[in-house]
Amino acid sequence: MRLNTQKAEFIRSAAASKDFIRDGLPQAAFAGRSNVGKSSVINRLLNRKNFARVGGVPGKTVHINYFRIDEKLYLVDLPGYGYAKVSQCEKDRWARLIQSWFDDPALMTLGVLIVDARHKPTVDDKVMCDYFKSTGRDYVVVANKLDKLKKSEIEPNLALIRETLDLPGWVKVIPFSAEKGTGREELLGVISAMVSPSCAPEENLV
Ligand code: GDP
């Protein structure tokens, strides 16, 4: 089975549990601090320019956005976090929405936590990672903005990310650059594998 990332459609924006999709298709949930490049990672994955919105006002959209890929899986865009300027009211909305999503751990097939390859993960990153851990499902960490690192910084930074998030050995940390495309194949492979273990990404279709 092959994943055709050209067949990508926006399905729904959910602001409450009643709007969550529960139709049995696998769901890959993307989470990350505002401005970490979550939209850029999604766009790179789908090879689109403006599919997920890049550079919007951070923290303004407390919604969960669902994209269906190739009619085989959902890419679930969880609202960004950690933007200092949002009101307490917005933070509470974020927490309620995220909590209600994770109250139903069966919703997530795969978690994709996006962190900044340049920095030690924040306390908020750790909280998000703990949400993923609590599901008992597979998750990966994407270390984005790799292009901003010197070669000598890559290994130590990846090790710091693994250590700070206290990741079990089986959790992959994927070095990624939404800007350059680094890591796209690896992430696509992990996502494809959740549909079917033998499902490799097919470059001709992508
Ligand atoms: P989001 O808030 O997490 O969705 O972040 P965006 O996708 O809007 O990206 C935030 C900013 O980081 C934008 O200016 C992007 O161009 C930039 N950005 C995202 N990914 C990368 C990357 O891999 N490398 C570099 N150099 N910049 C990136």
Residues 62/86, Cβ–Cβ less than 8 Å: no
CA 54 – ligand 1 centroid, Å:
7
Which residues surround ligand 1 with Cβ inside 6 Å?
32, 34-40, 54-55, 58, 80, 144-145, 147-148, 177-179
CATH number of domain containing 184? 3.40.50.300
Within a domain: residue 143?
Answer: yes
The first and second tokens of residue 177, run together, are 């650059």
Burial (Cβ within 10 Å: 0-12, 13-18, ≥19) of residue 81 = buried
Structural domain including 34 reads 2-196
The first and second tokens of residue 13, run together, are 């924006």
Per-residue pLDDT of the chain (206 residues; tens, 9 = 90+): 578 999 999 999 999 999 999 999 999 999 999 999 999 999 999 998 888 775 555 545 689 999 999 999 999 999 999 887 888 898 999 999 999 999 998 899 999 999 999 999 999 999 999 999 999 999 999 999 999 999 999 999 999 999 999 999 999 999 999 999 999 999 999 999 988 755 445 544 54
Within a domain: residue 118?
Answer: yes
How far apart are alpha carbons 176 and 4 in whole angstroms?
A: 21
Within a domain: residue 50?
Answer: yes
The first and second tokens of residue 149, run together, are 């690192």
Within a domain: residue 201?
Answer: no
Within a domain: residue 28?
Answer: yes
108 Cβ contact partners less than 8 Å away, ≥ 6 residues apart: 27, 29, 76, 102, 132, 135, 137
Within a domain: residue 206?
Answer: no
Give which of 24, 144, 120, 129 is closest to 74, Cα–Cα. Answer: 24
Within a domain: residue 134?
Answer: yes
Which of helix, strand or coil describes residue 8? strand
Within a domain: residue 202?
Answer: no
Domain count, the chain: 1
The pLDDT value given to residue 67: 95
In a mutational test of the pocket of ligand 1, which residue from 30, 34, 40, 46 has the highest number of ligand atoms less than 8 Å from its CB? 40
How far apart are alpha carbons 88 and 23 in whole angstroms?
A: 33
The DSSP annotation for 61-78 comes to: ---EEEEEETTTEEEEEP
Give which of 111, 26, 117 is closest to 77, Cα–Cα. Answer: 111
Q: Which atom of ligand 1 is nearest to the CA of 52?
A: 4
The pLDDT value given to residue 206: 45
The pLDDT value given to residue 204: 45
